[in-house]
Amino acid sequence: MLTPCYYDSPRKSTSPNNLTPPARRPSPQVLTVGNTRRLEFTPGMVQSEMRLSRPDQLVLSYNRAMMCFVLFQPQPQHIVMVGLGGGSLAKFCYRYLPQSRITVLELDPAVIALRDQFAIPRDDARFRVVQADAVEYMPALARSADVLLVDGFDADGLPPALGSASFYADCQRALRPGGVLVANMFSYDPHYPAMLKRLRRAFQGRICGFTGIAGNNRIVFGVKGGEPSPALAMQRRVARHGGLRLPLLNWLLAHWVVLRLRWTGRAGGVVI
């Protein structure tokens, strides 16, 4: 399973379908131009982007938007990521959330084989890349994750299995109480309303998003209930006004979250 990196513009990027047999997948290609290294599967369709001079930097807006999970879970013990790609979120979390254990689920061994070219850390006590189909693996994670990042697309959008009611239900069960799911969707995906409805049902209505935070990408946050928690309180605040009411303020908030993490190595005390 691959993590697509999308520019905040109408142009689309693609990534292979999680459920497509490996033999039918386009081979991952690495393109290096100056200080930039990209992961592509077809020319011009960028899956991940890295600055060689600062490999831990988050280049794309949607990556910064997804990092707003620290507003709900400032110091997660266990982060699970669906898709490795060029490892932008994995590297950032590994460096700037030192208290977190990180598990990355990646289906394609050819993508895992490129980890050195994208400065992705070796497996250790805190960081592990697992070659697995997330749809099959998710049930084994019951009540073990504080944060779950779901971001996997093919040329036609989100594969049906990653937007299904059963997958969202497994994601909800994979979280501890107060845990947060972060799902990347496209506003122009014709299945977006149905997927949003399934996600809302799986999380008993406890979902929210920041208006205008990542262009055509819709970053949806779902919080697992069970008992009152800071994450649920934050979910209610964000849902009430779409974050900071104005799209520009939400966009700036995502930048501020990333900068604060880089300065402090953690996100303790971050509030809207």
Rounded to whole angstroms, the Cα distance separating 184 from 59 reads 16
Domain assignment present for residue 246? The answer is yes
Q: Which domain holds residue 213?
A: 22-264
Positions in the chain whose pLDDT score sits under 50 = 1-23, 155-156, 267-272
Q: Which residues are catalytic?
A: 151
Residue 271 forms part of a structural domain: no
| DSSP string computed for the chain | -------SSS-------TTS-GGGSPPPEEEEETTEEEEESSTT-EEEEEETTBTT---SHHHHHHGGGGGT-SS-SEEEEE--TT-HHHHHHHHH-TT-EEEEEE--HHHHTTGGGGTPPPP-SSEEEEES-HHHHGGGGTT-EEEEEE---BTTBS-GGGGSHHHHHHHHHHEEEEEEEEEEEETT-TTHHHHHHHHHHHTTT-EEE-TTSSTTEEEEEEE--SS--HHHHHHHHHHHHTTTSSHHHHHHHHHHHHHHHHHHSS-TT---
State residue 83's pLDDT score: 86
CATH of the domain at 141: 3.40.50.150
Predicted local confidence at residue 5, as pLDDT: 36
Q: Are β-strands 217-223 and 175-186 bridged in parallel, bridged antiparallel, or unpaired?
A: antiparallel
Q: What is the pLDDT of residues 182-197, one digit of tens each?
A: 998 878 788 889 999 9
CB 77 within 8 A of CB 101: yes
How far apart are the two ends of the chain, measured CA to CA in Å? 33
pTM: 0.86
* DSSP assignment string, 172-191: HHHEEEEEEEEEEEETT-TT
Q: Quote the number of domains for the chain.
A: 1
* Strands across the sheet containing 207-209: 127-131, 101-106, 78-82, 145-150, 175-186, 217-223, 207-209
Alpha carbon distance 39, 164 (integer Å): 27
Residue 235, domain member (yes or no): yes
Does the residue 2 lie in any domain?
A: no
pLDDT at 269: 43
Residue 215 lies in a domain: yes
Per-residue tokens: 225: 């209930």
| Assigned domain for 17 exists | no
**Which residue type occupies 130?**
V
Residue 10 in domain = no
